[in-house]
Each structure stands twice: as C-alpha cells, then as structure tokens.
Amino acid sequence: MFPEFIRGSALWLGLLLAAPAQAGIVLNTTRVIYQATDKEVSFVVNNSGTADILAQSWLEAQSDTENLPFVVTPPLARMAGSARQMIRVIYAGEGLPNDRESVFWLNVQEIPQSAKDNQLQIAIRQRIKLFYRPAGLNGDPLDAAKSLEWRVHDGQLEVSNPTPYHVSMIQIDARQQGKTLFKADSRMLAPKQTVQLPLTKPASGHAVELRFISINDFGAQEPYTAKVAGDQATRAIKVANAITRAE
C-alpha cells in the first residue's frame, strides 16, 4: 500500500537546467474525498512565489492495470506569481467498486517558465490521496480507525480492517514491558484487508501495548492506544483530548 503522506505533503524533486526556482506550489488540502453523490470535486493550487509557472495535474492509479475513470481539468494551467488556480476532478460514473472506497494518487507538479544557461532549477511535485467513496457504504468513515481488529497470532501483530473505508496510520508502535517489538512510520489498510506486522520475539503471557495515530478525512491526527493479548480481537481506543491537525 501507499505510505502515508508525511507532514502533509510528499515532495518529489527533479533537477532541471534553468534559473533558480522562485515559485512554489501549495495545495489547500492534504487529501481529497470524492463522494459519489458529487458531480465533481475541486481543490486549489497556490503559486506562493513571484515567478510564472505551469501547474500540471494528473491522477495516478495503484497499478498499471487499474482503471482511471476520471478527468482532471485543467491538466495544465499557467499561473502568475501569487496566483491561485482551481483544479477540478470529474468521475466518469462507472468502473470503480460500489461496495468500498477506492484510492488514487493526485499529483500536482510545478513547471517553471524561465530559464538561464548553466543554472540549476528544482521542479517540485506534490502528491496527495484522492479517495472515491461510493454512496450507501455502511458505517461512519470517522469511526474506521477504532473499528480495526488487532490480535497477536503466531508471533505477529495482525490487524484487520472490517470496514469499507481506508484507514491511514502513522507512528505505529508496539511494545511489551517497555521493549519495542514493532515500529513503522506509516501504513494504510485497504477496506476488508488483513495484514501481519512482524514482532521481535514477543514474550508469551504479556500483552502488547499498541499506539498509533490515525489521519481522518479532515487531515487531523487522532492518537489511539490498545493492549493486545493473544488471539482475542481487540479494538483500540482514541486518546481523549489529543486530536491534532496534520501539517
């Protein structure tokens, strides 16, 4: 699965021969939720610099065989310094499952306009997730993280997502009597997915203390904790008064 968006955006740097970049694109969101009942969704790209740029926008599937039944418009937009541009995403109306969410990468890349000989330019690409959410799905997507089922099985920490929603997590940490057994910066569980996380020599008879942070629809970070013992399925509990905004 995709790694979670680190601190709000993943910047992919490509080196081009041109003038030093004086512009930078900034998106007004860290994720896009496309409800099936919406005709389209939109987000705003800001040119935070003073130089003119071209902003190129496109969607990317998880695999080469996956359908991309969307139109992104405009795919290429000229932006003056300090300008804003609205980008629209339109679903063709068919081709995606109707019993669970689908997820895609939404890319926006800055293409600077000016160039000078023998000078270096940095082109910046930002990637955020676009979730397509069919109508009539069971449950509340904001409750998906606390619906995850955790258990220790055959020396591994197993987690199942029984919901039709994706669950994005960061800072996953599993310990036993103060010893770190598993640690990961990020993980995303697809709907109905079960994964096994390898534990480092867990001791029998002692619960695994689990902590992770879930990223919700609004980009907010919600810390969770649980004590997982044996094959009995356990659900994590949200840590009260600890919700923060993702940067």
179-232 pLDDT, tens per residue?
999 999 999 999 999 999 999 988 888 999 999 999 999 999 999 999 999 889
Confidence label for 169 from pLDDT (cuts 50, 70 and 90): very high
User: Which of these ranges, 1-10, 102-111, 195-204, 205-214, has the smallest mean pLDDT?
Assistant: 1-10
pLDDT number for residue 195 = 97
CATH placement of domain 6-133: 2.60.40.10
pLDDT number for residue 115 = 60
Segment 133-156 shows an average pLDDT of 96
In a 3-state reduction of DSSP, which class is residue 160? Answer: strand
> Does residue 17 surpass a pLDDT of 50?
no
Give 86-127 as a DSSP string: EEEEEE-S-SS-SSS-EEEEEEEEEEE----TT-EEEEEEEE
> Does residue 246 surpass a pLDDT of 60?
no
Confidence label for 8 from pLDDT (cuts 50, 70 and 90): very low
More confident residue, 240 or 245: 240
pLDDT number for residue 118 = 63
pLDDT number for residue 114 = 66
Q: Are 53 and 47 in contact (CB under 8 A)?
A: yes
pLDDT number for residue 241 = 67
| Omega cis (within 30) before 74 | yes
Question: Among the residues of the chain, which ranges form H helices?
Answer: 144-147
**Domain residue ranges of the chain, discontinuous segments joined by +:** 6-133, 141-240
**Rounded Cα gap, residues 157 and 233, in angstroms:** 11
Q: In angstroms, what CA-CA distances link 226 with 163, 195, 197, 201?
A: 19, 17, 15, 19
Let me know how long the chain is. 247
pTM: 0.85
Instruction: Return the sign of the alpha-carbon dihedral for residues 174, 175, 176, 180.
Output: positive
Q: Which of 235, 234, 197, 238 is nearest to 221 (CA)?
A: 238
Annotation: CATH topology of 141-240: Immunoglobulin-like (2.60.40)
Q: Which of 201, 191, 134 is nearest to 165 (CA)?
A: 191
User: Which of these ranges, 7-16, 38-47, 52-61, 125-134, has the smallest mean pLDDT?
Assistant: 7-16
